[in-house]
Structure 1
């Protein structure tokens, strides 16, 4: 009887550790994918708009936007967002990612 319980406990422990490792791998993969997407968006924006006057003029507004966690949205920044999204319609980037990319110019 004790042997059966020990065997059952060992089996449950083995299954639980496998499930935990699998969820860790899935979580890690999703985080790495999100970071890669953010990096790609930043790279696309900075290389395409380095010399663009509209985007460069929005730098101060982008700094305010990032510092306030998106609460402060200046007119120049909104114009830059619209311009970037018009030029790169397939770009999947949030406003925060775009503001950080503008600051990286």
Structure 2
């Protein structure tokens, strides 16, 4: 049995898994910062969405939405997405991106 191809495949899988995790974390951080950064100047940026009970209450629905690649849409997530879009009308993000950002808060 040749172990060199097996080792190469294992290394490739480890590298690609790390890249995917880094990409997810970078996207989540960027979206979270964008959401916080677009809050009204008169409010505390760190508490605008992180302390929003409607948005935080949608975390379980957001997790289901992300895990199902957008197939499972809970009522709390729908309310949070509508709320975020009303609060930040210039925000350019899809539902899946916003759900990931909610999970990152």
TM-score scaled by length of structure 1: 0.60
Relative to its length, the structure with more helix (as a share) is: 1
Question: Could you say which residue in structure 2 is the equivalent of 1:100?
Answer: 100
CA RMSD of aligned residues (A): 2.0
Which structure would you say has the larger Rg?
Answer: 1
Equivalent residue number for residue 45 of structure 1: 35
| Structure 1 spans left out of the alignment, 5+ residues | 1-35
Match of 2:70 in 1: 70
Q: How many residues align?
A: 70
How many angstroms does 1:40 deviate by?
A: 4.1
* 8 A Cα contact 2:28 2:101, kept in partner: no
